[in-house]
């Protein structure tokens, strides 16, 4: 494992839920005490169901969500930032190094911007290029790398298909030369063929530009194919982290096992029914005591209702947050 | 197949009048669904799945044109057959909409009026199709909510859609669709907006309900895994044409059409993590530039010049019940 590029230590993002006159104000624990290392040069997957906190975690790393506790650091060999206390000047530099690929940035952009303008905007906002010629050269270079037709730079994005629009979003995120890129559900709305195309593009850009990716997705099959490591989230916590092969071969957390078996298999005879989870994810505003998964866990013990399990090293390079992972491992 | 089909679609072609001219959304489509049978309809976005489904209930927009040869026959056991496309008056449509046929949609929020309780909407729906008393309709609705796994159904009955979670809304919509005991259920991407663990629950539920009520289902999705888990037979759609159809096991294990093969190669499969993800070459043509001949020839590596770009392939039997429309399958025979 390479040294971490991004390192989280008991990182929390809590949002206040109204005020109270007496006692502590209630909070929504969107992210609660998450510890995680994202190795330099990795394609790191973050999976979980809706509301598990994946996007908030990504936003916290980019400092777009408030850090309410713990630490987050970014260290790429050139700079070393403590993201909780980072100053204005450093923040400006950090923005060039860490970028987000928006799923659909167009809603927030003027419809009169051409594809060229959309890709160029970050360069102009951050004052990276001095002249229009320099900007154009950078835009053309990254557009070519993202396999966009250069003829299209003068057009407007609304005329383009989902796949092409995603390429434009990728080019916009990469134009300022970041080292760390967060892709949040970048292929979620795409058809399988276009999805395959975009995934292949992300992987080749990673190699060519020596990027580190945090790949956020609800789709475990996609993550299984593109990521080196996977972290599984449930209700604001990480329940398991493992090298991809290891996670899919031997899921150690009961939630990971349930999640894997819920993926509809292409084999009609493999119904995965044995591991079915009951009910739905509880509200993060009133999470269960102890282990947050205990209300749905098929192998719950008394202790799980009381004690919060912490993410701990297991075996084969994996970490698990379960009191009983060893005992409940099938087979 | 022993039972007579519930619904038979023959030679259906659906076009839309638009400012850019007439657009073909569905072309020469044939299929049938028997009672208790689940037909999966799979295809990329814009391939015409929803237009096909809506045609069965005449729910397509006003600018729709059905070609004259198009035929949809609804045959409910012990009732006279109904020629769906010949129904012109709104009140005749009641026979199919929410009566013999029910539909559930991808976005359950859209199927419930926000200011009316779930229960009142279910009662309303039931009373529209029968002369049932309010009291009886209420009983049946609560029973149905309970049946789809909504706990505390009597309390939930009096709540509004916004008070339900996504998974619960989907269940409530299924309950409402099934309360009228339809013979045919059309499910258009019913699980796409759900998390996998909830999707798995809804799939189990739908399987149980088919076993219990014996209705036929047209199950639309772009997810082949969901098809494998729910359908008996599958029809693969590309640019408004059904290019391949057959038993789900057969089609997934032994796909015959280059497009179906392409879809399977692009799919990230959990049973082979080393397999590269291979996109189908080229882009999907715009509806305004519909390819002549085989609609897939512009993206097909096996296209035969002078043949695939001019003539439309007929359905060829691969094995009993499994058909594909591809000249490559008949090539050997024509040469011989
Ligand atoms: N009323 C209409 N007027 C014009 N074109 C229409 C109309 N309704 C549908 N279409 C077109 O018909 C084609 C097929 O659309 P349809 O909604 O059936 O696709 P689909 O397979 O259901 O796609 P998705 O997976 O995105 O739901 C599309 O090109 C669509 O834009
Ligand atoms: Mg549709």
Residue B146 domain-assigned (yes or no): no
A24 burial level (CB within 10 Å; 0-12, 13-18, 19+): exposed
Residue B13 domain-assigned (yes or no): yes
Distance A276 CA to ligand 1 centre (A): 35
Q: Which of A231, A254, A266 lies closest to A323 in space, CA to CA? A: A254
The residue ranking higher by pLDDT, A198 or B151, is: A198
CA gap B258, B301 in Å, rounded: 8
Residue B50 domain-assigned (yes or no): yes
- Return residues 21-50 of A near B (CB < 8 Å): 49-50
CA gap A136, A186 in Å, rounded: 26
Containing domain of residue B287, as a range? 1-35+43-100+184-193+215-336
Residue B321 domain-assigned (yes or no): yes
Contact residues, chain A, for B279 at CB < 8 Å: 193-194, 196-197, 200
- How far from chain centre, in Å, is Cα B303? 29
Q: Give phi and psi for B23, each to the nearest 5.
A: -105, 130
Q: What is the pLDDT of residue B2?
A: 56
Q: What is the pLDDT of residue B1?
A: 47
Distance B50 CA to ligand 1 centre (A): 7
CA gap A85, A70 in Å, rounded: 11
B18 lines ligand 1 (CB under 6 A): yes
Nearest CA owner, ligand 1 atom 5: B16
Q: How many CA atoms lie within 13 A of A14 on its CB side?
A: 17
pTM: 0.91
B317 lines ligand 1 (CB under 6 A): no
Distance B287 CA to ligand 1 centre (A): 10
Residue B237: give its domain's CATH number: 3.40.50.300
DSSP string for A231-293:
EEEETTEEEEEEEHHHHHHS--SHHHHHHHHHSPPSSTT---GGGPPPS-PPPTTSPPSSSTT
Partner-chain contact B204 A273, CB within 8 Å: yes
Q: Which two tokens stand for residue A306?
A: 């009381």
CA torsion through residues B178, B180, B186, B189, sign: negative
pLDDT tens-digit readout, B229-286: 999 999 999 999 999 999 999 999 999 999 999 999 999 999 899 999 999 998 889 8
pLDDT of A253 > 90? The answer is: yes
pLDDT confidence of A136, banded at 50, 70, 90?
very high
> For residue B196, what is the nearest residue in chain A, using CA coordinates?
A262
ipTM for the complex shown: 0.90
pLDDT tens-digit readout, A175-220: 999 999 999 988 888 899 999 999 999 999 999 999 999 999 999 9
Residue B177 domain-assigned (yes or no): no
Residue B81 domain-assigned (yes or no): yes
Contact residues, chain B, for A293 at CB < 8 Å: none
Three-state SS at A35? strand
Q: How many CB atoms lie within 10 A of CB B85?
A: 16
Distance B23 CA to ligand 1 centre (A): 10
Atom from ligand 1 closest to the CA of residue B18: 4
State how many domains chain B has: 1
CA gap B336, B332 in Å, rounded: 6
Domain boundaries, chain A: 4-320
Asked if A238 contacts A245 with a C-beta cutoff of 8 angstroms, the reply is no
Asked if A284 contacts A30 with a C-beta cutoff of 8 angstroms, the reply is yes
What residues have a C-beta under 5 A from ligand 2, the ion? B 50
- Which-ligand-closest: CA of B43? 1
pLDDT of A331 > 60? The answer is: yes
Give residue ranges of B with CB < 8 Å to any A CB: 44-45, 165-168, 195-201, 203-204, 222-226, 228-229, 248-249, 252, 262-263, 266-271, 273, 275-280, 283-284
**For B200, which of A218, A268, A276 is closest by C-beta distance?**
A276
Fold of A4-320: Rossmann fold (3.40.50)
Q: Which of B90, B28, B51, B24 lies closest to B186 in space, CA to CA? A: B51
CA gap B168, A21 in Å, rounded: 35
Q: What is the pLDDT of residue A316?
A: 87
pLDDT tens-digit readout, B75-100: 988 888 889 988 877 777 776 776 78
Residue B150 domain-assigned (yes or no): no
Nearest CA owner, ligand 1 atom 2: B16
Total count of residues recorded for chain B: 336
Nearest CA owner, ligand 1 atom 29: B46
Residue B219 to chain A, least CA–CA distance (Å): 15
């Amino acid at each position: 494992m390479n040294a971490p590029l991004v390192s989280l230590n008991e990182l929390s993002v809590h949002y206040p839920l109204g005020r109270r006159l007496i006692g502590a104000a209630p909070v929504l624990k969107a992210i609660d005490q998450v510890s995680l290392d994202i190795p330099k040069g990795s394609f790191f997957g973050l999976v979980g169901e809706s509301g598990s906190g994946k996007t908030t975690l990504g936003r916290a790393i980019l400092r777009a969500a408030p850090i309410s506790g713990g630490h987050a650091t970014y260290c790429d060999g050139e700079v070393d930032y403590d993201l909780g206390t980072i100053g204005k000047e450093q923040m400006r530099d950090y923005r060039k190094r860490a970028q987000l690929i928006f799923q659909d940035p167009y809603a927030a952009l003027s419809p009169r911007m051409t594809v060229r303008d959309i890709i160029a905007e970050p360069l102009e906002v951050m004052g990276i290029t001095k002249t229009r010629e320099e900007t154009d050269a950078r835009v053309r270079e990254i557009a070519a790398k993202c396999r966009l037709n250069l003829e299209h730079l003068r057009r407007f994005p609304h005329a383009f298909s989902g796949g092409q629009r995603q390429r434009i979003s990728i080019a916009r995120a990469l134009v300022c030369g970041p080292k760390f890129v967060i892709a949040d559900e970048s292929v979620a709305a795409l058809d399988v063929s276009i999805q395959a195309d975009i995934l292949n593009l992300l992987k080749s850009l990673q190699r060519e530009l020596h990027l580190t990716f945090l790949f956020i997705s609800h789709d475990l099959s996609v993550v299984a194919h593109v990521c080196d490591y996977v972290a599984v989230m449930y209700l604001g916590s990480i329940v398991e982290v493992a090298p991809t092969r290891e996670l899919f071969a031997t899921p150690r957390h009961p939630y990971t096992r349930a999640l894997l078996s819920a993926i509809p298999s292409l084999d009609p005879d493999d119904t995965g029914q044995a591991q079915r989870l009951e009910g739905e994810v509880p509200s993060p505003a009133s999470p269960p005591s102890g282990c947050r998964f205990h209300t749905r866990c098929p192998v719950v013990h008394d202790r799980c209702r009381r004690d919060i399990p912490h993410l701990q090293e297991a075996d084969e390079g994996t970490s698990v947050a379960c009191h009983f992972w060893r005992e409940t491992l099938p087979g | 197949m022993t039972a007579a089909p519930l619904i038979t679609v023959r030679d259906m072609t659906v076009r839309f009048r638009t400012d850019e001219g007439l657009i073909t959304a569905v072309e020469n489509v044939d299929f049938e669904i028997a009672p208790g049978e689940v037909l999966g309809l799979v295809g990329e976005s814009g391939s015409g799945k929803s237009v096909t489904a809506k045609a069965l209930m005449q729910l397509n927009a006003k600018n729709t044109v059905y070609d004259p040869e198009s035929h949809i026959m609804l045959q409910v056991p012990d009732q006279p057959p109904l020629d769906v496309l010949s129904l012109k008056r709104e009140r005749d449509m009641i026979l199919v909409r929410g009566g013999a046929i029910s539909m559930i949609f991808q976005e359950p929020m859209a199927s419930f009026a926000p200011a009316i309780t779930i229960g009142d909407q279910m009662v309303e729906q039931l009373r529209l199709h029968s002369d049932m008393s309010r009291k009886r309709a209420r009983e049946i609705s609560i029973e149905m909510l309970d049946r789809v796994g909504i706990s505390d159904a009597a309390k939930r009955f009096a709540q509004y859609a916004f008070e339900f979670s996504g998974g619960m809304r989907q269940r409530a919509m299924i309950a409402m669709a099934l309360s009228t005991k339809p013979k045919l259920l059309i499910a258009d991407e019913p699980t796409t907006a759900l998390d996998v663990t909830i999707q798995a629950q809804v799939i189990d539920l739908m399987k149980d309900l088919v076993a219990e009520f014996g209705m036929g289902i047209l199950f639309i999705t772009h997810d082949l895994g969901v098809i494998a888990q729910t359908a008996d037979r599958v029809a693969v759609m590309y640019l408004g044409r059904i290019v391949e159809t057959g038993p789900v096991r057969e089609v997934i294990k032994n796909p015959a059409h280059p497009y179906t093969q392409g879809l399977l190669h692009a799919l990230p499969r959990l049973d082979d993590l080393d397999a590269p993800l291979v996109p189908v070459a080229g882009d999907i043509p715009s509806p305004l530039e519909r390819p002549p001949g085989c609609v897939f020839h512009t993206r097909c590596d096996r296209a035969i010049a002078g043949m695939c770009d001019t003539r439309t392939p007929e359905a060829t039997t691969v094995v009993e019940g499994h058909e594909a429309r591809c000249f490559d399958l008949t090539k050997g025979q024509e040469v011989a």
